[in-house]
Structure 1
Amino acid sequence: MTIKAVVFDIGRVLIEWEPERFYDAKIGKSKREALFREVDLHGMNLGVDRGDDFKGAVYALADRHPEWADEIRHWHDSWLQMASPDIPHSVRLMRELRQNGVPVFALTNFGVGTFELAKITYPFFSEFDRAFVSGHLRTIKPEAEIYAHLEQETGIAPKQLLFTDDRPENIEAAAARGWQTHLFTHPQTWADRLVSEGLLTAEAAQ
């Protein structure tokens, strides 16, 4: 069946998202390992992705762990350093698809506040035909509700959606609904898939 729209995850597909790398540079690997072992930073971030207030969630966690308060607050105060840089080849592919008349959607686990912050730094966040952001929808991948929301809002049949994401569980959830999927590991393999589907020429996918 012909692909009618392409759906992009954002983190680790269009921009890098490496909190551990940031903290390794900031406080050293051993201290970072202790921090992440003792404080559920990723759990807190999932709450933000579900719609919790960004600064409020980070600072509340810091208050509960005063021994790590400064380090935890970096999750808010230095967030853009964790979510950078962009992945240029992936961004080019997104733009080439749109120029070729292919609708492009974002389906992303992202907080309301962090998404708005990132839009300032990354103009292409405003270039999607539509962005389905978990913080607004209050459901996250791989929960069925977020995929159903995109299907209902776009009116596109699952088999006509091609979705790329870096997390296998998110890909599996989409595939279970009948979506066409691609596990993102590198921009070039994604480019090759887009060419093989006839969505881009080899030249456009470079």
Structure 2
Amino acid sequence: MSTGRSRIVLFDLFGVIARHQRPGALEKMAARCHTALDSFTTAYWTHRPSYDAGRHTASAYWTGVLHALSRPADADTIEELRLADIDSWSRVDERMVTYVRNLRDRTRVALLSNIPADHADAFLTAQAWLRDLDHVAFSSRIRAAKPDPAAFRHCVVALHAAPADFLFVDDREENVRAAQAVGMSGHVFDGQDGLAAAVEAWLPAR
């Protein structure tokens, strides 16, 4: 018989359990670089995939951003930007944290997040509840970022499960579609009430 403990709810972090980037953060970082917001935003996101996937260090990432903006990449500027960036992604939705922690009474719970290594270290230090989950997969540590199928397959192997055992929850539809393509169930997150209904429908009846 299928039980809730044989199933796994796999959560994205940002936009689901954690808040999206703090409003105004990119503007402040752009001002620190003495550059226009549009130019800064383009450089910031263009260089992000390799940083998220652990192929670039924080220093290499910020050096790339600053060089793209024709700005000097001195150590002090890089460290100021790095710390400001970590802070801008540091907020969590406490209501969702409570929901996720309580859900572990019924099923296994794991996390799959696109996040640079230094951000991941900061999150683990600040959010001790992450250590209580059944598995935490950070893209920079597993060297694969969503929607790369390798990121989802990592979770399958790490949890000694089958893709069909997973319900993947993310606020980005492209990531949910990628999870479904490897055989997982998926839910596009648009709020806790809709999520709770989807989880109840997916888990075996109590």
Q: Please tell me the TM-score bracket, short chain as reference.
A: 0.7 to 0.9
- Please list the CA deviations of residues 157-177 of structure 1 after superposition, one character each: whole Å capped at 9, or x if unmatched: 212211101111110011112
Please, what TM-score do these two structures have when normalized by structure 1?
Answer: 0.81
80 and 151 in structure 1: CA distance in 2 versus 1, 3 angstrom threshold: same
Partner of 1:23: helix, strand, or coil? helix
Residue aligning to 1:174: 179
Q: Is it true that 1:86 corresponds to 2:88 in the alignment?
A: no
63 and 24 in structure 1: CA distance in 2 versus 1, 3 angstrom threshold: closer
The Cα of 1:14 is off from its aligned counterpart by: 1.1
Please, what TM-score do these two structures have when normalized by structure 2?
Answer: 0.81
Q: Is it true that 1:187 corresponds to 2:192 in the alignment?
A: yes
Where does the alignment leave 5 or more consecutive residues of structure 1 unmatched?
202-206
Q: Percent identity?
A: 20
Residue aligning to 2:58: 54
User: Structure 2 counterpart of 1:5, which letter?
Assistant: I
The Cα of 1:197 is off from its aligned counterpart by: 3.2
The Cα of 1:26 is off from its aligned counterpart by: 6.4
The Cα of 1:60 is off from its aligned counterpart by: 4.1
Where does the alignment leave 5 or more consecutive residues of structure 2 unmatched?
none
The Cα of 1:71 is off from its aligned counterpart by: 8.3
Residue aligning to 1:128: 133
**Which sits farther off after the overlay, 70-79 or 142-151?**
70-79
Residue aligning to 2:8: 5
The Cα of 1:196 is off from its aligned counterpart by: 3.1
- Residue number among 27, 33, 41 corresponding to 2:38 in the alignment: 33
Work out the CA distance in 1 between the residues paired with 2:123 and 2:36: 28
67 and 26 in structure 1: CA distance in 2 versus 1, 3 angstrom threshold: closer
Partner of 1:162: helix, strand, or coil? strand
The Cα of 1:200 is off from its aligned counterpart by: 9.8
CA RMSD in angstroms comes to: 2.9
Contact 2:156 2:163 in 1 (8 A): yes
Contact 1:109 1:133 in 2 (8 A): yes
Work out the CA distance in 2 between the residues paired with 1:121 and 1:179: 30
Give the count of matched residue pairs.
Answer: 197
Contact 1:61 1:72 in 2 (8 A): no
Q: Is it true that 1:149 corresponds to 2:146 in the alignment?
A: no
Work out the CA distance in 2 between the residues paired with 1:200 and 1:131: 27
Contact 2:170 2:188 in 1 (8 A): yes
